[in-house]
Amino acid sequence: MVVEKFSQNVINSGIFRLYIATGFFATLIFFVVNADLYTPMEMIFGIIGVTVILKGVSNMMLSLIILLFNLDNKRDELNFKYNEEKIDAMLAELGVQDAQNVNSQPN
């Protein structure tokens, strides 16, 4: 659960989309500047190929970030919150039981 939240936050940050878009436009500019050296089909295949390669590299970067990033602190924090909620629920239930016991005892 911790890894999923972390990876979703990294993906939602948009850094990988920015990386891919930058590579796409850099390749596009390269082919436009060197248009006299390449045919239109070579340009299209080059742009598509570089974009696919950059997408693969960004997926590998995401995998390495998730693999190498230490998530123990976040896991401990989530466990603490879970245990805190569980203890609060148990205390509330105990309070209800005590109130029922006090009301049911004859005076």
| Residues 79, 63 share a domain | no
| Residues 54, 10 share a domain | yes
CB 6 within 8 A of CB 69: yes
- Quote the CA–CA distance of 89 and 83 in Å, as a whole number: 10
| Residues 63, 12 share a domain | yes
How much of the chain, in percent, has pLDDT values that exceed 70? Answer: 98
Instruction: Match 């590998």 to its residue by tokens.
Output: 60
For residue 51, count CB atoms less than 10 angstroms from its CB and return exposed for 0-12, middle for 13-18, buried for 19 or more. Answer: middle
Nearest to 48 by CA among 17, 22, 27: 27
Range of the domain at 12: 1-69
pLDDT in tens, 47-74: 999 999 999 999 999 888 888 887 788 7
pLDDT in tens, 1-25: 677 777 888 888 888 899 999 999 9
What total of structural domains would you count in the chain?
A: 2
